Amino acid sequence: MKKQLIVIGTAVLLLAIGLSGCLDNYVEGTGRIQYNDFEGGFYGIVSDDGEDYDPINLPDDFKEDGLLVSFKLVVLENQVSYHMWGEVVRIINIEKL
């Protein structure tokens, strides 16, 4: 019984440590979609606090310059984009405002 509790406790601790790193990369807020006409043209998100995000999975129905949105994103660290604009992100949730 004691051995099982140690194993379970260790598993919970490792899970918590692993998840804490994921949560550091989590971003949410509001902003607008911006069309950038360089590097072949692409859509990005400019947050209300001035951060630029380059989403790898922006749905087609959100590709509208100036569209106001709320978003939840994960910043993909150690990844670069040929756009060379903003932080590369994966969209978790996005909604039109």
Domain positions in the chain: 27-96
Average pLDDT for 50-71: 98
Give the model's confidence band at 83: pLDDT under 50 very low, under 70 low, under 90 confident, else very high: confident
Cα–Cα nearest to 53, from 28, 22, 23, 20: 28
pLDDT of 4 reads 66
Answer whether 89's CB lies under 8 Å from 56's CB: yes
Give the model's confidence band at 82: pLDDT under 50 very low, under 70 low, under 90 confident, else very high: confident
- Determine how β-strand 68-75 pairs with β-strand 52-55: unpaired
Between 3 and 34, whose confidence is greater? Answer: 34
* DSSP-derived secondary structure letter, 80: -
User: Is residue 64 scored above 70 in pLDDT?
Assistant: yes
User: Is residue 13 scored above 50 in pLDDT?
Assistant: no
pTM of the predicted model as reported, rounded to 2 decimal places: 0.74
User: Is residue 87 scored above 80 in pLDDT?
Assistant: yes
CATH class of 27-96: mainly beta
Q: Which two tokens stand for residue 89?
A: 């992100």
Give the model's confidence band at 2: pLDDT under 50 very low, under 70 low, under 90 confident, else very high: low
